[in-house]
């Protein structure tokens, strides 16, 4: 079965500093990969996604992520963090079962705090 | 587009009562998903519909949970009877599954925060 690991539960960075959130997945084939952001009391907003092609994908709000097949990773990066980026970030993998059923499996999330 | 709409946003009920959560997917989307989010278990997929038909309900925790999608623009998740351990945020998401070229990108509603006393 597929799984997603976000090893960092909580990260604190200073405003203006760079950011990298880690995500590792376990799946036998190339999955669909997603990053979502959740602000307090809100739903999940899609930041970016990878299906195929260029392994460096650009998303909204200045975020990017790089798919590394050899490391089974899909880390999220931002060169300069803004205070409004404080939120919880979820990595997810989308997979199909043999019966055609589609499932999105989420990591436990990484909470980002930003110091002004 | 209004996005995925969920109601109510907050629900407080007593143990044993019936709870019904509602979802209106994005117009034109043909897949709908119900998730539950808790601190302990994170985000869990409960059930998934494609073209109004339940495809995978293996995540539904117990028979007390049921979900329906009577038409393409409406779905319900019902808990009867409710228990305190059902307290969580329940999210609905929708996507457009377009055959082999499906993007399978899910768009989430704001969620319903359920508290069972």
Going along chain A from its start, the domains and CATH numbers come out as 3-115 (2.60.40.10)
Distance CA(B84)–CA(B15), nearest Å, equals 6
- B102 pLDDT above the threshold of 60: no
Hey, is the C-beta of A108 within 8 angstroms of any chain B C-beta? yes
Distance CA(B87)–CA(B12), nearest Å, equals 9
| For chain B, percent of residues with pLDDT exceeding 70 | 93
Among candidate residues B47, B69, B51, the one with its CA nearest the CA of residue B59 = B47
Distance CA(B16)–CA(B81), nearest Å, equals 4
Q: How far is CA A16 from the centre of its chain?
A: 20
pLDDT reported for residue B58: 84
Hey, is the C-beta of A49 within 8 angstroms of any chain B C-beta? yes
pLDDT reported for residue A99: 61
Among candidate residues A91, A59, A97, the one with its CA nearest the CA of residue A73 = A91
Distance CA(B29)–CA(B10), nearest Å, equals 25
Question: Residues B20-72: pLDDT tens digits?
Answer: 999 999 999 989 999 999 988 889 999 989 899 998 888 898 899 999 999 99
Question: Residues A54-111: pLDDT tens digits?
Answer: 899 999 999 999 999 999 999 999 999 999 999 999 999 988 766 666 778 899 999 9
Measured between beta carbons, the chain B residues lying within 8 angstroms of A100 are 55
A68 CB contacts (<8 Å, ≥6 apart)? Answer: A55, A74, A75
pLDDT reported for residue A27: 85
Q: Which A positions 3-22 lie with beta carbon below 8 A of chain B?
A: none
Distance CA(B92)–CA(A5), nearest Å, equals 23
pLDDT reported for residue B101: 44
- B98 pLDDT above the threshold of 70: no
């Amino acid at each position: 079965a597929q799984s997603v690991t976000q090893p960092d539960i909580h990260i604190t960075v200073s405003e203006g500093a760079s950011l990298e959130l880690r995500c590792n997945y376990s799946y036998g084939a190339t999955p669909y990969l997603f990053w979502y952001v959740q602000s307090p009391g809100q739903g999940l907003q899609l930041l970016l996604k990878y299906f195929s092609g260029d392994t460096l994908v650009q998303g909204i709000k200045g975020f990017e992520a790089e798919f590394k097949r050899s490391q089974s990773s899909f880390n999220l990066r931002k060169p300069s963090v803004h205070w409004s980026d404080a939120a919880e970030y979820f990595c997810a993998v989308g997979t199909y079962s043999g019966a055609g059923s589609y499932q999105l499996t989420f990591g436990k999330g990484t909470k980002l705090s930003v110091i002004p | 587009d209004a996005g995925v709409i969920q109601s109510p946003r907050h629900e407080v009920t007593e143990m044993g009562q019936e709870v019904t959560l509602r979802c209106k997917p994005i117009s034109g989307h043909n897949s709908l998903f119900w998730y539950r989010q808790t601190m302990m278990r994170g985000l869990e997929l409960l059930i998934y519909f494609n073209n109004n038909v339940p495809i995978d309900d293996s995540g539904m925790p117990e028979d007390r949970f049921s979900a329906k999608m009577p038409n393409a623009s409406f779905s319900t998740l019902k808990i009867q009877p409710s228990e305190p351990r059902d307290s969580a945020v329940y999210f609905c998401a929708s996507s457009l599954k377009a055959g082999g070229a499906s993007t399978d990108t899910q768009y989430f509603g704001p969620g319903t925060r359920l508290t069972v006393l």
